[in-house]
Amino acid sequence: MIVLGIETSCDETSAAVLEDGKILSSAIYSQAEHSQFGGVVPEIASRAHMEKIDTITSTVFRQADISPRELGLIAVSDSPGLAGALLVGISYALGMHTAYGIPVSGINHLEGHISALFLNHPEIPLPFLALVVSGGHTAIYHVEAFGKYRCLGQTVDDAAGEAFDKAGKLLGFSYPAGRAIEQEAAKATDPDLVRFPVAKVSGPNPDFSFSGLKTALKYYLKDKDEGFIDTNRANICSAFQRAVIDSLRKNLLIAAQKSGVRTVGVVGGVACNGKLREELGKTFSKDLYFPLPSLCCDNGDMIAMAGYLRAQRGSLRFPRLNPAGTL
């Protein structure tokens, strides 16, 4: 089955063509339009998606050397995300559905992120724990099978990626800042210069909290002069990154202990982080799975894969805009 995946939930316009779960082609436009604002501006995102979606989709058809009529399915992110941004992808998918009579399915964006694991690691043993760690979400799911998810813990405030982006703003990096912080942290000469606290959320669940960490960084920087920050930016980035990673690792361990599930898959934009991969590797070693870094941030490939897996299970569903949808 040939599947077209369309992703427009936030600030990436992306499409991909898959055949029987293998990538034939993919294209992505990451909207640089937001960097000057320090975060995604929804109206700008919608307009940029409208400008790019046709070019991106035509590109993947050309690269895969197929025509839209050969598609067996169009899969499109319809939840959660920015309403106006999601609408662009959904409208485009429905237009193709109407024009060519091809079946169409809505995809939950978070299920899309998890599907990136099945794309790269079809052998991943079930059940596993999926840590979704992205710009808008941080949660641990018990994945019994594709389509069967139970949330074990989630953030009570900021997402981990959001924390990287907010820290980046305080430290003088443009949006999004996760990659830049990782690169800066790698240059640290004194990673123990400062230790930032990792919040422990009360209650039995492995929930996360990152807003206190951002505040701790803000107060730490408050009485430091520019020269000190310039000299120690790498050390500060390293300390910040370590606090985020410690929190993710600790809660994954709690979830593993509580559930008895040892296999862990980590998905979402923060899963690109090499230090996170290294540190979790020390704890979970051979039981740890990541998608390729290129499939961690938003992409059409993971949406197409989720559509393909849904088709196999007979669980296609007509797209329905749901900006606040959960998994």
Ligand X SMILES: Nc1ncnc2c1ncn2[C@@H]1O[C@H](COP(=O)(O)OP(=O)(O)OP(=O)(O)O)[C@@H](O)[C@H]1O
Closest listed residue to residue 163, CA positions, set 181, 187, 183, 188: 181
DSSP 182-234: HHHHTT-S-TTS--------SSSS--B--HHHHHHHHHHHHT--HHHHHHHHH
Q: Which of 265, 269, 300, 325 binds ligand X (CB under 6 A)?
A: 269
Q: In angstroms, how far is CA 298 from the centroid of its own chain?
A: 6
Q: Which of 89, 178, 206, 291 binds ligand X (CB under 6 A)?
A: 178
Tell me the β-bridge partners of 289: 265
Q: Which is nearer to ligand X, 297 or 303 (CB)?
A: 297
Q: Which of 78, 111, 158, 165 binds ligand X (CB under 6 A)?
A: 165
Among ligand X, Mg ion, none, the one that 178 touches (CB under a kind-dependent 5 to 8 A) is ligand X
Q: Which of 78, 111, 158, 182 binds ligand X (CB under 6 A)?
A: 182
Min separation Cβ 80 and ligand X, Å: 7
268 is a contact residue toward ligand X (CB under 6 A): yes
d(CA 133, CA 114): 11
How many residues interact with ligand X (rule CB under 6 A)? 25
Determine how many CB atoms are found less than 10 A away from the CB of residue 320.
Answer: 10
Binding piece for Mg ion, criterion CB under 5 A, among 129-137, 163-171, 201-209, 216-224: 129-137
Among Mg ion, ligand X, none, the one that 179 touches (CB under a kind-dependent 5 to 8 A) is ligand X
How many residues interact with Mg ion (rule CB under 5 A)? 2
Tell me the β-bridge partners of 150: 142
176 is a contact residue toward ligand X (CB under 6 A): yes
Q: Which of 104, 272, 305, 306 binds ligand X (CB under 6 A)?
A: 272
247 is a contact residue toward ligand X (CB under 6 A): no
d(CA 133, CA 269): 7
134 is a contact residue toward Mg ion (CB under 5 A): yes
**Closest residue to bound Mg ion by CB:** 298
d(CA 95, CA 76): 12
298 is a contact residue toward Mg ion (CB under 5 A): yes
Q: Which of 135, 153, 206, 291 binds ligand X (CB under 6 A)?
A: 135
Interface map 294-313 toward ligand X (x if CB under 6 A): ---xx---------------
Q: In angstroms, how far is CA 222 from the centroid of its own chain?
A: 31
For β-strands 138-145 and 148-154, DSSP reports them as antiparallel
DSSP 27-82: EEEE-GGGGGGTS--HHHHHHHHHHHHHHHHHHHHHHHT--GGG-SEEEEEEESS-
Question: At a CB cut-off of 8 Å and minimum separation 6, what does 202 contact?
Answer: none
Q: Which is nearer to ligand X, 16 or 71 (CB)?
A: 16
Note every long-range contact of 222-231, with CB atoms under 8 Å and residues 24 or more positions apart, other chains counting: 229/171, 229/172
Among Mg ion, ligand X, none, the one that 164 touches (CB under a kind-dependent 5 to 8 A) is ligand X
106 is a contact residue toward ligand X (CB under 6 A): no
78 is a contact residue toward Mg ion (CB under 5 A): no
Closest listed residue to residue 252, CA positions, set 276, 275, 217: 276
162 is a contact residue toward Mg ion (CB under 5 A): no
Q: Which of 146, 164, 208, 308 binds ligand X (CB under 6 A)?
A: 164
165 is a contact residue toward Mg ion (CB under 5 A): no
First and final C-alpha spacing in the chain: 25
Give contact residues for Mg ion (rule: CB under 5 A).
134, 298
Which residues of the chain form contacts with ligand X (CB under 6 A)?
9-10, 81, 109, 113, 134-137, 161-162, 164-165, 176-179, 182, 268-270, 272-273, 297-298
